[in-house]
Structures are given as structure tokens and as C-alpha cells.
Amino acid sequence: MLILAALLFAADPGCRSCHRAICDSYEQSGMAQSFSRPREEHAIEEFGKPYFHAKSQQFMEIVRRGGRLVFRRWQLAADGKPINLFEQPVDWILGSGHHARTYLYQLPDGELYQLPLAWYSQEKQWGMAPGYDRADHDGVTRRVRHECLFCHDAYPAVAPSPASYWRPQSLPRAMPEGIGCERCHGPGERHVRGNINQIFSSIVNPMRLDAQRSRDVCYECHMQASVAIPAMRVYGRDIDSFRPGELLADYEVKIEVVDHALPQPERFEINHHPYRLEQSRCFRESEGRLTCLTCHDPHRRVSAEERAAHYRTACMSCHREILAKHLPALDAEADCVSCHMPARRTQDVVHVTMTDHFIRRKGGGPELLAPREERETELDDVVVSGPDADLYRAAAVIRMYGGTNAGSVAKMQQMVRKLKPAEVEPYLDLMFGQMKQRDFRGAEETASLILARDPRNAQALQWLGLAQFNLGRRADGVTAMRRAAKITPDDPEVHYNLGLLLRSIASLRRAVELRPNYAQAWFQLGELYREKRQMTEAIDAYERTLAIEPRFAPAYPPLISALQESQRSAEAQRFASQQAALRTP
């Protein structure tokens, strides 16, 4: 049964009318500042300071221009002048800036994309965003999925979808800024509008929940085994359907990873607070009494001056008798955390140090803060607990590796046939894998199962169209793709696919209007324009391709040829030199 997000939410200003002091305090917390519009009064960065990334030979900067922040990226041609210049206004800032900030932009179709440059507050300098410190990084085409935004913002006005993970990734232009009250306290409309007898029963206070449900309010965002693999929701649960007071296990599938280079006790990522805490003897022997709220008041940010005393008080709630017996002369100003929960450099965001919530007797020394290189997570296995573990494990691997793992696709097919799920989502996982494995007949069969459950599933219709085209049934493929376009007319991918199937400039133009950073669509536009001998338009399309993705090697030869045919030999030579540099190891 599909569980959808109920529209029972009140705007946070409704909370402020009665809880002004708490709201004022909460506004200073990282959660409240986790997602925002760029505002001059909140700036902490040094704008206009170029950063050079040697591995990709790219220069980047964020500058102020006309009241807006603008991201710029370029390379230097052999003549020392900029080439492949890309400029994009910044629409959103992700992160409070207490440790770091990354920058997002929003396209006409509503999709969000991350920019590769980040500001690191502890170092007070620019650097590559996490996962980008490599020659072949994602550049400006890393899409920010709803799952990413879920833990950085309140509830956007997004319609529920039975496709869940495979829903369109568009978001409204107007969205909340930061984590709101209702993320932890649940829908507030009845609390705001109800009578006096409903005041307490209609809102969730995590302090009054049992220990597991209290932890689950925090764990919905902070419990993550590895950034390398996204969390899996239980099939039938939509993205915003979890409510404080529920068990997280009814919403999310528990996933653990096995990394031979980093066994569990050695893994420490930026979002590992409860993951590390639960490995601690303190947590295990508390029999559930130790929760996040033992030490943290989410409504306030503890100042640097009061941290030692604040957290020492939390430690003493369990350890007072032991300390009195063994350390009677304990300094009243002792800082328990600095010794037993020391700050360490995180392994996934290597420019940041965070408190390690794995509580230990001996905390370690300066090696914990030593600089480190960004590393690729090397997963040997994915371990899934709970009902239908094999089904969810196969789906998780399909999503993580983009359907390239043939074994996971075969396992998914086996489990779907065995279990015959009522939901659409597992069939979409399977069909995605089948398309990537070029099992077009299998994908066509799976499409029929999806469309029997959801006749207007545009994603299944798109994949069906491509499968039928690859099976030699062009007319059927075009019909399926056109059905998808009628259902989701603002989906750039359906227009891109129609453009390929029909060799239609108009369809490809529509794709890049909706998604201007669609490098493949710009390249295909260039190819069609060149076939029609429209060289000016072809050159523009190829240059846009390379501005978006400078490593897009297929775009260089036709661009150079088109420039030469247009008597623009100097420009052709600049791109020829750039192409040669691209081939140089």
C-alpha cells in the first residue's frame, strides 16, 4: 500500500506566534541554516577569488554581479586566453557554513544541480566540493535528487508519487529555507487550529517518545552507513511520508556496507554521528537510555565558551559515581568531549573536521587531524537487514552502480518474479537495470507489468519506447515516447529521446530549453545542424557542449571542422590545441 505525505502542514511562522524564543534560538542552529537563498548579509566567503583545480585543469570562481552570485568556470587555451567558459547564477546555498557550503542552481524544468566549488569555513578557503577532486569529476551536471535535499530542507510542495525514487526530480521555484519545525514535531495544522484539548496530543515532542522513536527522529537524516550508497525506502513509502513518532524501520531499509580498506570501526564520515555513537560502549550499555537528546538541544547552538560545561553535564548524568570514586580531584572545568570524543578529519569531506561520536577511553593524537586525500569508496558488499533483504539489496546495488552490475539485475528479476510486489517502484528498479544491460525484451515485459499498475507512468513509457526502438520497432517506440511526452511535457529527457528517434531539431531544442546544461542534447543538436549545413547554429551547439563538459571528446572534431568550413581558422586552432591537451595524460 502506498503511503503518501499528508498535506497537514502549517508554515513555520505559525510556530513562532507562540514559541518566539525557541524559534529565535533555533535560527542560529545549523539545521535552520542548512538550505538558503544567497544573501549578502549572510556571506562568509571571499567571492571573486579564483581557484585552480590542477587535476581537471579548470579555473573556477564565484563572483558578485548585479546583486547575484555567479559561478564561473574556464580553462586556458594554448594562447593563454580562456576557453570553454561556463557561467551560471547561483540559486541556492546548501549547508549552514559552520563547516562548509556548496552551491546549487535551478533549471527551467525545476531540477537542481550542484556546482563543483565549495567554501570550507574551517580553512577559510575555496576547494573542490566532496567527490569532485578528480580529473573526471561531475562538473556542473551532478543532479541534486529529492533524497539529497530531504535532509537539508523542510517539506517542499512536491506532489506524492507512487514511483517514489523514480519520480521526476523537479522542485518548485519557491521552497522553504532550512529544516523546519515540522521535520521533528510533525504536521502542525491541528496543533495550530485545534482546541485546547488537542494542543499536546496533536504535536510530537521527541522528548516524550520512547528511546527508539526519539532516536529515529534524528536518524531519519543522520543515520547513514556510507555516503557511497543512498538510503533505501521501504517500497510503498514516498519521500516525505515519514512522520516523527513512527518507527524509522517502517520507512527505511537498514543498509550496511563492507569496505575492505576501511572496516566499520575505522570509517568516519561527516554524517556519522549516530552511526559512530552506536558502536560505543556507552551506547550499548545504556540499554536505550542514551539518545541524541541526552547531549543535544536541537533548538539551540551551544557557544564555544559553554561547550565543555554543557557536554560534561551530559556525561556526568551517567558517570558521576565512577568519576567520584576514581577521579575525586577532577577539574571542575574538565572537557570530557575533547579527550573521549575528539574532532577528526572526515574521510568523505576531507577539508572538514567533526566531533567523532564514537566514545572511547583514549581518543588519539594529532594523526586524527592530519590532511588526507579524497578516496573512492571501495565497496566489497552491501548488507541489508529485514524483510525481503535480497530484493532490497539488489535494488540498492542497481541504483548505486547505475544498473551496470549484471548480477544485481538478475537477482532483482528473480526476486520480482518470486514476490510479485504490488508497488510500481521495484519494477522500475528492474527495468532500469534491464535497459542498462541492453535486455530490451526483458525491459518490454517489465514495462507491461508497470503499466498494468500505473498506466500513466511516463518513465516506463520512455524506457519502453527506447526498448522497442532498439528491437527494430521504430513506430512502436515513437508512439510510446509520444505518450510519455503527453503525460510529462516538461521532462527534458523525453524530448531528447524524441529528438533522437525522430531526428528532430525542435525536440532537441525543447530539451535544452528545459535543461540548459544537457551536454548530450547540445551535441546532438550540433550534429543535426551540421547535417543541414547550418554552421553558425552547429558551432554554437558544439561550443555550448564543451562549456558544460570540457572533456566531451566527441564534440571537438566536428566543432573544429565546422569552424574551418566557416573560415574561422584561428578559433579552430584554439580548439584543436585544447583537444590535444585533452588526450595528454
CA-to-CA separations, 513 to 96, 508, 541, 555, in angstroms, rounded: 32, 9, 13, 20
Q: What is the pTM of this model?
A: 0.94
All three cell numbers of 55? 587535476
**Element housing 459 (H / E):** helix 458-470
Shortest CA distance to 47 belongs to which of 29, 67, 27?
A: 67
CA distance 169 to 341: 38
How many residues can be counted in the chain?
585
Distances (CA, A) of 241 to 18, 155, 322, 385, 561: 27, 10, 44, 21, 53
CA distance 403 to 430: 9
pLDDT of residue 7: 36
State the cell numbers at 263.
572496516
Distances 414 to 395, 406, 523, 534 between C-alpha atoms, Å: 12, 12, 38, 50
Residue closest to 494 by CA, chosen among 451, 456, 465: 465
Residue 102 identity: T
Within 10 Å of residue 523's Cβ, how many Cβ atoms?
A: 22
What gap in Å lies between CA 31 and CA 9, rounded to an integer? 19
**Degrees to nearest 5, angle at CA 245 with 225 and 281:** 45
Q: What is the CA radius of gyration of the chain?
A: 26
Cell of 545: 557542449
Residue ranges in the chain modelled with pLDDT below 70? 1-13, 195-197, 322-332, 584-585
Residue-wise pLDDT for 333-364, tens only, equals: 778 898 899 999 999 999 999 999 999 888 88
Angle 440-453/458-470 helices, nearest 10 degrees? 150
Return the pLDDT at 335.
Answer: 85
Pairwise CA distance, residues 73 & 76, whole Å: 10
C-alpha distances (whole Å) from 23 to each of 14, 40, 115, 391 are 11, 22, 31, 43
The CA-atom distances, in angstroms, between 289 and each of 51, 121, 149, 254, 574 are: 47, 34, 31, 22, 66
SS3 assignment for 145-175: CHHHHHCCCCCCCCCCCCCHHHCCCCCCCCC
